[in-house]
Amino acid sequence: MLRRAALLQCAWCGNRPGFLRDWFRRYDSCRHCGLAVQRDGEGFELGAATVNVMVTLGALIVAAAIPIASTYPNVDTGLLIAVLGVVALLLPIVLYPFSFTIWFAVELFMDPPSQAALDAADDRVRDILDLNA
Ligand SMILES: [Zn+2]
């Protein structure tokens, strides 16, 4: 499921783009399998934001450690701050859709959908097909 998420596919059915409408917007459910993104109420965005923050912070630590370790004790702090600033600003934008697909995969792994959720997903797919017909 994580491999599918890393490829911006639906973690459940593998369809691309799954529930992603574009880079910054998404549907409430996968357009192929109908599985709802936000299950059991609220909190999906918080999990996705947490994934984004954790990966960004990890990248910042690596981006800081490599030049510090390789140039110590003559670290160019101005350049280091500039590079880290660019990474801190751009990486969350680049990771935005990935954070949602990855968190969706993590949620599906931790809490697989119930039969009722799968039945509701089938109903959503029928509605989507009816709208497109
Ligand atoms: Zn799907």
How many angstroms separate the alpha carbon of residue 95 from the centre of ligand 1?
A: 20
How many angstroms separate the alpha carbon of residue 65 from the centre of ligand 1?
A: 39
The structure tokens listed for 121 are 């997903």
Q: Give me the residue spans of the domains in the chain.
A: 2-132
Q: In which residue are the tokens 């160019």 written?
A: 76
How many angstroms separate the alpha carbon of residue 68 from the centre of ligand 1?
A: 43
> How big is the CA angle at 84 (ends 82 and 87), to the nearest 5 degrees?
110
How many angstroms separate the alpha carbon of residue 109 from the centre of ligand 1?
A: 14
Task: Count the Cβ atoms, other than its own, within 10 Å of residue 99.
Answer: 22
Q: Got the DSSP string for the chain?
A: -HHHHHTTS-TTT--SSTTBSSSS-B-SB-TTT--BSS-SSS-HHHHHHHHHHHHHHHHHHHHHHHHHHHHTTS--HHHHHHHHHHHHHHHHHHHHHHHHHHHHHHHHHHSPPPHHHHHHHHHHHHHHHHHH-
Whether pLDDT at 133 is above 80: no
How many angstroms separate the alpha carbon of residue 24 from the centre of ligand 1?
A: 18
Partners of 36 in beta bridges: 29
pLDDT in tens, 38-91: 877 678 899 999 999 999 999 999 999 998 999 888 989 999 999 999 999 999
* Model pTM score: 0.83
pLDDT in tens, 85-130: 999 999 999 999 999 999 999 999 998 999 998 998 898 888 888 8
Q: Which residues surround ligand 1, an ion (CB under 5 A)?
A: 10, 12-13, 15, 30, 32-33
| Maximum CA extent, the chain | 67
pLDDT at 67: 87
How many angstroms separate the alpha carbon of residue 31 from the centre of ligand 1?
A: 7
How many angstroms separate the alpha carbon of residue 48 from the centre of ligand 1?
A: 17
How many angstroms separate the alpha carbon of residue 71 from the centre of ligand 1?
A: 47
Give the model's confidence band at 12: pLDDT under 50 very low, under 70 low, under 90 confident, else very high. Answer: very high
Average pLDDT over residues 13-36: 91
